[in-house]
Amino acid sequence: MVNLAAIEAATERIRSEIYLSPLVHSKELSAISGNEIHLKLDNLQMTGSFKERGALHRILTLTGREMARGVVAASAGNHGQAVAYHARRRGIRAQIWMPRYTPLVKLSATRAFGGDVVLHGNSYDEAYEGAAAQDATFVHAFDDEAVIAGQGSLGLEMMKQNPELDVIVSAIGGGGLISGVACAAKGRKPGIEVVGVQTSRLPSMAAALEQGGPVTVAAGSTLADGIAVRCAGRLTLPLVKEFVDRVVTVDEADIAAAILYLLEREKTLAEGAGAIGVAAVLLGKTGHRGKKIGVIVSGGNLDVNLLARIIEQGMVRDGRRLRIRVTLPDYPGALERLASAIARANANIVETLHNRAHYGVGLSETAIDITMETRGREHADELLLGLAAAGYEYSVIN
């Protein structure tokens, strides 16, 4: 049974092996949201996410026979790393079933932590089916009382670090994290509000709450792969109904913007699932003003290639990266004069591409695509006005 006493006991069991992650005040996010925002940085755990808490607690409850059989888990990445890490430390064999398209950073880390990785299926659910059929002790990612109690330790930490919190905002996938956190927080402070955040691509918990029971939503890709769960848990759904006040959803572009915000402004790296709570706060989705809000940054295992794309697209969205196409006369000095006009506007040319055969250019002309860095949308607009005043005709490439 998951209750405050069970979570307190779990917290004591795992205390010596789990990093007490900081709860830091964000001045900028507070100013943006009109609330007092505190970020619980559980992306700083050894394996990069909160999943260590529940995985370790479940492993500590194993019998000698269960340990001898070894453990098996299905994971989109973070749970698998946590199980592999804590199982290896105890000499327990760990087999981790992961979807074929698991981000490389999570796949490589799971192997490095000692996990025997099996790639199976295109989603967590398909990996789960394969793992559950194995002859080993199954460690569920969320629908397990020992796992939920372990995750609840995060809620107890937050309440101890700042007893004055009015609201806790947490990501939701299968519901293991928010179930434990909400149960713990409300056990210590019944009046506290708990808000869950899901991606609009896979709103399985929101759909389950709306329809009064587990719902399997359509499969979909998402930046928040750590919470890409198509159906709410059998154990977690009743706990969410009892302890969670509201569930909201955010879109993919909002998650990407939150990742970039955390990296640039808060100097912390979060994956999609880890940043989703911040996305909700940036959008005002929690509906609060003047409250003390704790936002869980639950994981930081983000593939660097994906991060590069997020940064580039974020710069385009903010107007800090601009691409235009200009038709120039094809003679010496024409490009130099255009570059000088751009330099006078204090923009930086990142890339150029000439084309003398397409876009309807004449025999004595060339089309040139120029990618530039600017200080933002206002600066980009000033640059374009300056080019128009200098007589250049251009089109903006989106």
Domain boundaries, the chain: 4-49+144-313, 51-138, 319-396
**Residue 25 burial (CB count, 10 A):** 12
- The confidence band for 366, taking pLDDT boundaries of 50, 70 and 90, is confident
Pairwise CA distance, residues 288 & 234, whole Å: 30
Pairwise CA distance, residues 150 & 184, whole Å: 11
Domain 319-396, architecture per CATH: 2-Layer Sandwich (3.30)
pLDDT above 80 (res 120):
yes
Look at residue 105 in the predicted model and tell me its pLDDT.
86
pLDDT above 90 (res 243):
yes
Strands, sheet with 365-373, edge to edge from the N-terminal-most edge strand: 348-355, 365-373, 321-329, 394-396
**Residue 373 burial (CB count, 10 A):** 14
What is 4-49+144-313's CATH topology? Rossmann fold (3.40.50)
Pairwise CA distance, residues 37 & 25, whole Å: 6
Across the chain, mean pLDDT equals: 94
- The confidence band for 123, taking pLDDT boundaries of 50, 70 and 90, is confident
Give the burial class of 351: count Cβ atoms within 10 A of its Cβ; 0-12 exposed, 13-18 middle, 19 or more buried: exposed
Q: Comparing 277 with 125, which gets the higher pLDDT?
A: 277
Which range has the worst mean pLDDT, 52-56, 102-106, 139-143, 183-187?
102-106
pLDDT above 80 (res 363):
no
Look at residue 124 in the predicted model and tell me its pLDDT.
82
Equal CATH topology for 51-138 and 319-396? no
Characterize the bridge pairing of strands 365-373 and 321-329: antiparallel
> Do 209 and 240 form a contact (C-beta atoms < 8 A)?
yes
The CA–CA distances, whole Å, from 184 to 11, 52, 188, 270 equal 11, 17, 6, 24
Mean pLDDT of 307-334: 90
Q: At 56, phi and psi to the nearest 5?
A: -60, -45
The amino acid that residue 369 corresponds to is: D
Q: Kindly report the CA angle at 143 between 140 and 149, in degrees rounded to 5? A: 95
Pairwise CA distance, residues 218 & 226, whole Å: 16
Characterize the bridge pairing of strands 394-396 and 321-329: antiparallel
Pairwise CA distance, residues 142 & 390, whole Å: 61
pLDDT above 80 (res 362):
no
Look at residue 250 in the predicted model and tell me its pLDDT.
97
Of 105, 122, 102, which Cα lies nearest the Cα of 113? 105
Q: At 127, phi and psi to the nearest 5?
A: -65, -40
Of 290, 297, 291, which Cα lies nearest the Cα of 266? 297
> Do 29 and 281 form a contact (C-beta atoms < 8 A)?
yes
The amino acid that residue 119 corresponds to is: L
Characterize the bridge pairing of strands 167-171 and 292-297: parallel
Pairwise CA distance, residues 25 & 279, whole Å: 17
- The confidence band for 358, taking pLDDT boundaries of 50, 70 and 90, is confident
Percent of the chain clearing pLDDT 70 (strictly above): 100
Domain 51-138, architecture per CATH: 3-Layer(aba) Sandwich (3.40)
Helices 236-243 and 204-211, axial angle in degrees (round to 10): 70
Predicted confidence (pLDDT) per residue in 257-283, tens digit: 999 999 999 999 999 999 999 999 999
> Do 42 and 297 form a contact (C-beta atoms < 8 A)?
yes
Expressed in percent and rounded to 5, the helix, strand and coil fractions of the chain are 45, 20, 35
> Do 153 and 7 form a contact (C-beta atoms < 8 A)?
yes
Pairwise CA distance, residues 297 & 294, whole Å: 10
> Do 273 and 333 form a contact (C-beta atoms < 8 A)?
no
